Chains A and B, each alone.
Chain A
Amino acid sequence: MSHPNDIVLGASVLIPDLVGTSLGIGADFEQDQTAYSVFASGNWRFSSDWQLNLGLRYQKEEKEVTNKQTNKQTIYTLFSDFTPEPVRQFAEVAAPSITASLSGAYANDLATDRDESHLSPSISLQCWGCENTMVFANASIGYKGGGFDGSGLNSSQGSVIDPDSGFEYEDEKATAFELGFKSEVIESVWELNTTLFLTDYDDLQVSEFNGNAFVVANAAETRVQGLEMESRWAISEHWKLNTQLALLDFEYQSYE
């Protein structure tokens, strides 16, 4: 992936003295990504009513990235036909410092990589012991890989990555629990499914608007819990009523 970015959009709006002038900084962001994963699962029907399901997923992700925001090539000025000559000359000279102070993006040439691997287990128990009803309980752990921000708004200078620049973000971990049932309450007439869920996220990746562009950051510990209900009711030969209801409680437990 390689894309140029305009960072200072319409700087002429903010700097009335620079008539008919637009300043920009471009960024060249390139990323090579390789991912591997393996999944295995086993089901054990240990009695006529009970089944245990176990799953395990292994994932490995490698990312190599370069980001170039080089002074001479990518900080640029655009003028209208009527832009006065002195304004042009001033803008050409002042462009790097104006773009840096407005967007926080400095000239840099960065190269780095990250390599992560995760084991994601899952366990589930199902029971058909109740009449026309399957009751289940699940628990699982999952990961979303980390990565690099390609918005081209990097505050790093030279080849040293500024740790506060948000250039690299970390993986996100989700621990999820579910408890529910699928029931044919009245055979061939009314089906009702209900699931209670709770998911805890560590280092939730959130898209943040930093004033100029969206960057991804690991902001928060978050708990998402709720209830999902689905009902299918054949009222008569000709009438059917289908209903879905979701209740959701999303709360940042801590936000940095």
Chain B
Amino acid sequence: MQAELLGMAMQDLTGRTGAFAPKYSGNLELNYQNEVGQGYWLDASINLRFVDEQYLEQDLDPIAKQASYEKTNARIAISSPEDTWQVALLAKNITDEQTFSQANDVPVISYAHRFLTERGREYHLQLSYRF
């Protein structure tokens, strides 16, 4: 612990993976578009993003490991004829997954970490109008 405090701890990561390197990641998006009524358009989509576990620190500290996760977003929109106006309802991270984007050691205090959290569940209502 003394060596770590003085910044003299060494690591050999030969053969190990790196930070921010999930073994798999990907995205699936299903989209539906159709005319509803006279010239009105419905545009709906649902999106699933999946990411394998990954380390959030270069030293591969097991404390700062983000587990694999899936996040779902959805969007439904109605547009008027000629696209004059559009109303869209969005839901992001519907399952309210709690994930971290970064982690840092806190200086001097051994084992203390600071995590940056990503956004939880969100709803957005978007209105647009073209003059």
Contacts and interface: CB of A to CB of B under 8 A. Distances in A.
Interface of A: 8-11, 13-14, 101-104, 153, 206-213, 219-220, 222, 224, 238-256
B53 interface: no
Which interface residue of B8, B57, B107 has the most chain A CB atoms within 10 A? B107
Interface secondary structure of B, over-half rule: loop
B9 A211 contact: yes
Contacts of A102: 5-6, 108
Contact of A246 (B6, B25, B29, B59): B25
8 contacts: A9-B108, A102-B6, A209-B58, A220-B13, A238-B33, A243-B29, A248-B23, A253-B15
How many interface residues does chain B have, given as a range?
Answer: 35 or more
Contact of A10 (B24, B105, B108): B108
Contact of A252 (B9, B15, B32, B107): B15
Which interface residue of A14, A103, A211 has the most chain B CB atoms within 10 A? A211
Contacts of A253: 14-15
Interface of B: 4-9, 11-18, 21-34, 57-59, 104-105, 107-109
B50 to A, nearest CB: 9
Contact of B26 (A206, A210, A243): A243
Contact of A243 (B18, B28, B105): B28
A208 B25 contact: no
A252 B16 contact: yes
A241 B29 contact: yes
Interface secondary structure of A, over-half rule: strand
B14 A240 contact: no
Ranked 7 nearest A-B pairs via Cβ:
A211-B7, A250-B21, A210-B7, A245-B26, A255-B13, A250-B18, A240-B31
B104 A209 contact: yes
A219 B16 CA distance: 13
Contacts of A9: 107-108
A238 to B, nearest CB: 5
Nearest to A253: B14
A248 B25 contact: yes
Given A104-B6, A209-B104, A253-B14, 10 more contacts: A102-B5, A209-B58, A211-B5, A212-B7, A238-B34, A240-B31, A245-B25, A247-B24, A249-B23, A250-B17
Nearest to A210: B7
Given A208-B59, A241-B29, A241-B30, A248 B108 contact: no
Nearest to A6: B107
Contacts of A255: 11-14, 16
